[in-house]
Homo-oligomer: A and B are copies of this chain.
Amino acid sequence: MSEELLPQPDTGEIQLVKVLHALGDPVRIQLLGIYADGEEHSCDPRVLGLERLHKSTVSHHMRVLREAGITSTRAAGRNRYVRLRRADLDARFPGLLDSLLGSLASGGTGEDVPPAA
């Protein structure tokens, strides 16, 4: 059995400008919202609600997020489990993640917001 972490930057090496660049994309900011629960998630576009995108495209976004230091990916068997690096990000940039997730919830993404009706 294999059980290893895919390469990712050390906490101290995470750069703000790269984090912002990584999140300055509609798909990846949406992924951040999905990962906000702190749980592990599969990479399958169907599971993530990203059926509109090819699996290789999703894989690409995963890599960008991981290399920016935002997510951590664990490989187990033929599955990969992606999780938010909440503690590391909080240590590196205190308060940033919380305000980002808060802003996301306040609807700053231009997504379709169904009326409260």
Q: Which residues of A contact B (CB under 8 A)?
A: 14-26, 29, 92-96, 98-100, 102-104, 106, 108-110
Contact = CB atoms under 8 A, between A and B. Distances in A.
Interface of A is mostly: helix
11 contacts: A15-B109, A16-B108, A16-B109, A17-B26, A18-B24, A20-B23, A92-B103, A94-B102, A95-B99, A96-B99, A96-B102
Nearest to A13: B110
A57 B26 CA distance: 26
A17 B25 contact: yes
B21 A104 contact: no
Given A17-B23, A96-B100, 13 more contacts: A15-B109, A16-B29, A16-B103, A17-B25, A17-B108, A17-B109, A18-B110, A20-B21, A21-B25, A24-B24, A93-B108, A95-B102, A96-B102
Protomer copies: 2
Nearest to A14: B108
B93 A95 contact: no
